[in-house]
Amino acid sequence: MRSGANERAATDAGDKGSLIRGLELLRLLNEVYPLQVRHLHALTGLPKPTISRLLAILCATGYVQRDDTGGYRPSSKVNALSAGVSSQAWITEVAVPAIDRLSRSVQWPSDFAVFEGHGMAIRYSTRATAPISITAPINTSDLPMLESDFGRAYLAFGSREQRRRILDALAHSGRPHDDAAHDPERTGELLDGIRARGFATRGDSFAFVRASTIAVAITVGEQSVAALNIVCSTRVISPSQIPERYLAPLQQTALQIGRALSWDGYVVTRGKSARGNAVPAAPAAARIMQLEGRR
How far apart, in whole angstroms, are the C-alpha atoms of residue 157 and residue 230? Answer: 17
User: What are the φ and ψ backbone dihedral angles of 219, each rounded to 5 degrees?
Assistant: -120, 150
Q: Which domains does the chain have, with CATH numbers?
A: 2-81 (1.10.10.10), 85-294 (3.30.450.40)
pLDDT above 60 (res 87): no
pLDDT of residue 18: 86
Tens digits of residue pLDDT in 237-256: 999 999 999 999 999 999 99
pLDDT of residue 68: 76
Report for 15-19, 151-155, 204-208: range of highest mean pLDDT: 151-155
pTM: 0.70
Amino acid at the residue 232? C
245: which residues sit within 8 A by CB, 6+ positions away? 106, 237
95-116 core/surface letters (b: 16 or more CB in 10 A; e: else): bbbbbbebbeebebbbbbbbbb
224: which residues sit within 8 A by CB, 6+ positions away? 115, 153, 154, 155, 157, 158, 159, 162, 217, 218
Please report, in angstroms and rounded to a whole number, the separation of the first and last CA atoms in the chain: 61
pLDDT of residue 269: 80
| Dihedral sign of CA atoms 235, 240, 244, 246 in order | positive
Contact 169, 116 (CB under 8 A): no
**HSE of 14, CA atoms in CB hemisphere, 13 A:** 7
pLDDT of residue 285: 42
pLDDT of residue 5: 47
pLDDT of residue 291: 44
pLDDT of residue 214: 97
* Average pLDDT of the chain to the nearest whole number: 83
When pLDDT is averaged across residues 23-44 and rounded to a whole number, the result is 83
pLDDT of residue 139: 73
pLDDT bin (cut points 50, 70, 90) of residue 26 is confident
